[in-house]
Amino acid sequence: MSNIVISLSNLNKSFGKTQAIDNVSLDFKENEFFAMLGPSGCGKTTLLRTIAGFETPDDGAVVLQGENITALRANRRPINLMFQSYALFPHMTVAKNIAYGLEMEDLSKPEIDERVADILKLTQLQKLAQRRPDQLSGGQRQRVALARALVKKPKVLLLDEPLGALDKKLRGQMQLELKRMQVEAGITFVIVTHDQEEALVMADRIALMKDGKVAQLGSPHELYERPNSRFVADFIGTMNFFDGYISGKKITLHNGLQLTGCNQDLAEGVDKGSMAVRPERISLHSQQPDNVDNCLQGTIVDMAYHGQDMNVHLEMDKKSARILVKISPGEAEAQGLKLGEKVWCAWSAQNARLLAS
């Protein structure tokens, strides 16, 4: 049972007519990697800035280890923020940038030097200590920004779109690197990102936000496998949706086909909804298979080779949305799938969730 390091309760914040944060309550645990995910405008950055102290909520409280810090100015909070643009001080060397925050703590010079040296070692920046920000690459600047925040040993480290400015290859490396750092530093990292893949890879828990509210809170696995709404299902990964009328665990599509899902936790009286199935959970067959919960026939209208996967697009009928099936290229070859061919696709009820519209 891990302790809670930060607790947000009933936070509200509006800018003019826009409600940026709408009655949000969240708890951040000690030593966890937490991601706030969502499309732009969902309020995640505002929330991050509120925790950091750069926005004051209209009401609600921010509590840090039992202490209410809502009224505390940013420079008094033992929380540090790594800015999206890194905000390195251009007129200072790497070492001076890192030392800056420690100088604000009234530490002795030898102590500051020691801690700076330690963090330089941890982040592999020793050789760059006397360089200025404009003499560093993007990835190096990011490490300096990280070092500058971590050296202060904050209770929580906030990161605003930390990997946004990096190129794709470096991003993959840095995702794992950040994870490693969080584990080594032993403190809570809270990142804000719009990239769902990034959140899935790095986070222990994710809060997916929409319009100032938390749409779903859970582990990456939970959000991926058991989305609680169409928005969540659609945002995370790719998803197939079959629209129709729901009754119990069954859904009747517009063309009359009936499918069976695995859940029945829809609100009372909800009847319009959709079935959500992941592309990789659908199997393809040349003949109609027996002993399956759900199957339907479709025509292959597109096949896209993606190296590891083959994306097969099927069309059930003119009125319905296309179905995306992900199989391995080997399987596609074995089945001899061709464009224009009619095939059967099938999936179990276990892999199909019913969601309200």
Partner 1 sequence: MRSPSKNLLLVAPGLGWIAMFMVIPCLLIFTLSFFERGTYGGVDYIFTLDNFVRAMDPIYVGILLDSIRIAGTATIVALLLAYPTAYAISLAPRNKQTTLLFLVMLPFWSNYLIRTYAWIVLLNREGLINNTLESIGVISEPLDILYNEFAVVTGLVYNYLPFVVLAIYASISKLNPEMREASEDLGAPAWKTFLRITLPLTMPGVAAGAVFIFVLSVGNFITPDLLGGGKLQMVGNLIYDQFLSARDWPFGATLSFILIGIMMMLLFGQAVLVNRAQLDNDKTHSHIDDEDEQSLPAINTAALDKEKSYA
Partner 2 sequence: MPSFSLSALYMNIHLKLVYVFLYVPIIVLMVLSFNKAGLPTVWSGFSLEWYGKLFENDAILNAAGNTLIVAIISTVLASILGTLLALGVQKAKTNSALDALLFAPMIIPDIVLAIALLSFFTLLEFTLGLHSIILSHVVFNIAFVCAVVRTRLKNFDYSVVEASEDLGASSFTTFRRITLPIIFPGVLAGSLLAFTLSIDEFIIAFFTAGAGASSTTLPMQIYSMIRFGVTPEINAMATIVMMVSFTLVFLSQRINKGITG
Contact 229, 319 (CB under 8 A): no
Residue 56 binding target from partner 1, partner 2, none, CB below 5 to 8 Å by type: partner 2
Residue 54 binds partner 2 (CB under 8 A) = yes
- Shortest Cβ 251–partner 1 spacing (Å): 24
We find the least distance from the C-beta atom of residue 328 to partner 2, in angstroms, to be 45
Integer CA distances (angstroms), 199 to 42, 208, 306, 308, in order = 16, 10, 22, 22
User: How far out from the chain centre does Cα 164 lie?
Assistant: 13
Residue 309 corresponds to which tokens in the numbers above?
């996967």
* Interatomic CA distance for residues 62 and 57, integer angstroms: 9
Q: How far is the CB of 185 from partner 1 (least distance, A)?
A: 13
Q: How many residues bind partner 1 (CB under 8 A)?
A: 53
Pairing assessment for the beta strands 188-193 and 156-160 based on DSSP bridges: parallel
Task: Output the smallest distance, CB 74 to partner 2, in A.
Answer: 8
Binds 290: which of partner 1, partner 2, none (CB < 5-8 Å by kind):
none
Query: Is residue 56 at the binding interface for partner 2, with CB under 8 A as the rule?
Result: yes
Residue 338, classed as helix, strand or coil, is coil
CB atoms within 10 A of CB 67: 9
Minimal distance, residue 299 CB to partner 1, in Å: 28
Out of 38, 43, 57, 133, point to the residue binding partner 1 (CB under 8 A): 133
Query: Are residues 289 and 344 in contact, defined by beta-carbon separation less than 8 angstroms?
Result: yes
**87 near partner 1 (CB under 8 A):** yes
Query: Among residues 70 and 140, whose Cβ is nearest to partner 2?
Result: 70
Tell me 248's DSSP state: T
Is the CB of residue 315 less than 8 Å from the CB of residue 297? Answer: no
Among 38, 101, 162, 273, binds partner 1 (CB under 8 A): 101
Looking at residues 210 to 269 of the shown chain, list those that interact with partner 2 (rule: CB under 8 A).
Answer: none
Torsion region of 91: left, alpha or beta (phi above 0 gives left; psi -120 to 50 gives alpha): alpha
**Minimum distance from CB of 306 to partner 1 (Å)?**
16
Do 38 and 209 form a contact (C-beta atoms < 8 A)?
yes
* Cβ neighbours around 163 below 10 Å, total: 24
By CB under 8 A, the residues from 168 to 187 that bind partner 1 are: 170, 173, 176-177, 179-180, 183
For residue 57, state whether it binds partner 2 (rule: CB under 8 A): no
Q: Which does 273 bind (CB under 5 to 8 A by kind): partner 2, partner 1, none?
A: none
Give 74 or 122: the residue with its C-beta nearer to partner 2: 74
Alpha helices in the chain (DSSP H): 44-52, 94-103, 109-122, 138-150, 168-185, 196-202, 220-225, 230-235, 329-335
Chosen residue from 44, 115, 152, 353 binding partner 1 by CB under 8 A: 152
Q: Where do contacts with partner 2 occur on this chain (CB under 8 A)? A: 53-56, 73-74
- Which positions lie near partner 1, rule CB under 8 A? 52-54, 73-76, 80-81, 83-85, 87-91, 100-101, 104-105, 124, 132-141, 148-149, 152, 165-167, 170, 173, 176-177, 179-180, 183, 200, 204, 219-221, 224-225, 280
